[in-house]
Each structure stands twice: as structure tokens, then as C-alpha cells.
Structure 1
């Protein structure tokens, strides 16, 4: 195999929601560096790795040192991230430092929790002749959101939304979206620890979101899906083909 550090998306939590390519690389790995409790150990239970390192309490520079060291030892090195590495995965800093050191990297995509949650409740993000756009976003917290990407501005599109890293912001989400003109009965799906054994899912409407949030106490691992348009028309994909004369 080519000498590469593999950044792998471990999916939302269910060890079966992982790509075939990711599973093969994890099983072949000599060294696995994983994101602590965010990645279930069952993901790499069958791996032949002789070193498995929890990175949750290791600083960025030390993580990069570890990856580089084993890369230079010609080992198969896997860096496991929750969900999909490209979405709120904090991989940019690692990739930049590794590439500065001449370390080759490859990213293997994963299933993000928004898709797992939509699948669990059997609700699509897009509908024929209705909503055609999905926005992944978050509200400002420790990491600020650029002003042009503030939820108030995004809400003007009336698109479907997957709102990450905003567990305690449900009442604010409701206020902003109602003010932007989202219908009161817009479907909102709240998912906690999606696809994990402790998973909890609530399907409600936008006008009840504040009330629901008053009765839940989760401060992390919570995801909101806002699904504004339940389409009623059939897709052109399934229209009957015109008969031949």
C-alpha cells in the first residue's frame, strides 16, 4: 500500500454505518488514532492495529507528531473522526501541518449524523416541486459564525436545515426561523446521540420547539433537522413514459 495517513469518517455511531473502504483500512491498520468517546470502540474491534490511541486529551501538535512518527515508520496509519471528516471535523489544521512535513494524507468519507437521522425518521430533505436545497450550519458559540452565514440570513432561503453544534439553541432557532417566515407547522426533528444505543429522537413542529427544548437537558450530541416542505407532487423521474405510436 502507498504510504499515507488515512483520515477516515467513522460515521454517526452505528458500527455498520461505515463505508466498505473505511472498514478495510481500519482492519489493516497498524496504528489507529481516534477521537475518544465520539468514536465507538466497536468500530475498530476487529482491527489488527498494535497501537490504538485516544486523542481526546492530546493537543494538536502532539497528534500530528504521532501521525508523522508512525507514517515515517512505514506503518498503515488511520486517524478516525466521527461522522464525515469534512464536516465540522477539525481536520484542516492537521492536514496543513502534516503536508508541511511532507506527510501524504487521504480522506475517506463517512456518514454524517444528519443523514442517519433523516433515514431513521424516513424524511427526505428535498421534494419534487418543493424544497431543493439543504444547508448544513451551526449557531455561533466558542467558534463564531461569519455574519453573512448567520441563521437569520440563511433562513431567507426557506431551505431544509441541518443544524449542528447548537444543542442549547433550540429556542433561538425557533425565534429566528419563525421571524424569517417558516410556517409554524414546519417539521423539526431533534436527534440525540443518533444511531448510538442511547439514541433519542423527537419529531415535532417549529411552533413547539421551545416547549420541547424546555423538557430536554442535553448540552451536546444534539442535532436539529428543519424540513420546511413536505412535497405532494411526484418526481419527473417516476412519470410514466409517453407511449410510442
Structure 2
């Protein structure tokens, strides 16, 4: 995998976050962070192409992305999306990208763990990512239409069932593909994905701090660091 692809992603993501934190970018334009998730999806595709080979990796990445986009958009599973037009499709593309990146992250972080621990930890990582980032979608949507009074970070109970359902399906498929396709896993790959994980988790952390939800930002930061520490520890044990 080309290191420059990751370096550019880290730098651009940092610049956009700084524009929000300083603040230079208006709240109505915070949606531009969603574009970073589309970039992250490209990185996740490269990751799977490295693991399974170009054609197989691309096939799996397209399957995850297209299936999530189709189900979310046609099923209207994100009730807060009401803006319509191109922005609505951007939100659905961003959520599809988030799912693809989430699957790549859990593969990179948990591949060397025992199956039971891997399963539990994978589901934990996915729930954490979506718990902190999905409300950001709702927040950006409110800001985009000019409603600047929305500061709540919450997911409805039905949302968790959707997340768990998708997690079970894609996790089982991932395990099956690892058995039948050659997996070229390395610590270097995990290190690259740690940078991606930090980048996407920095979005809810910075936004939370920016709108005054300090507790949310601090909790997200410590959970993020704990996940990284556990993942790196298991890799060192398995080396």
C-alpha cells in the first residue's frame, strides 16, 4: 500500500479539523468532513485489496459499500436525513464509507486475536465508532439546513439493532473470506489503519469540544486510546 495515500489523508483531515477548531469554517460548512469518510473508504478498499488481492479486495469493498448505501437509502434508515438532493446522497455515501472503514479497522485490529476475543472486541469497536460518529451525521445535517440549536449526541435504540445486524453479517462474511482467500496481514498494515482510526474518531472528538460537549470529547478520546492500546498489545503478543 502506498504510504503517500495515508499521509495525504492524515494531513487533509487535520487541516479540516483545525478549520473547525480555530474556528474558521462556519457550522453550515462542517459537512465537508463527510468527504474525509469518502477518502477513508478508498483507503479501506486499498487495505482489502492488499489482504485479498486487487480483484477480490475490490469486490468485497464494493459489496459492503453498495449494500449499505442501497439498504440505508432505499430503506430510509436514517430518519434525520430530510434535506433531499445531492446532500442527502452524500450522507448515505458517507455512512456506507463509514461501514467499509469500520470493517477494515476491525480486521486490522483484531486479526491476531483468539476468535472469542476477536468477535467481542470487533463488535465493541464497531459500536464505538458508530455511537460517536452517527450523531455527527445528524448534527451536520441540522447545521446544513441552518438549525444551529441542535447539540445532542444520541442514537435511538432501533439504531443499535441496525448496527448489530450489519455487524453480524459483515463479520461472518469477513471470517469466511479469510479462510478461502489469501490474507497478507502485517503490523505495518495495522499501523496504517490506526492512523485512519484516529483520524475518523477525531471528527466527533473535535466537534464535541467545539460545541461545548467536553465530556463526550474526553470519553471518546480515552475509549479511542484504549482500543489502540489493546490492539497493539495483542499484536505484540502474537508476534
Give the structure-2-normalised TM-score.
0.26
**Higher relative contact order at CA 8 Å, sep ≥6: structure 1 or structure 2?**
2
**Higher CA-based Rg:** 1
Instruction: Compare the two structures and name the one with the higher strand fraction.
Output: 1
Instruction: Compare the two structures and name the one with the higher helix fraction.
Output: 2
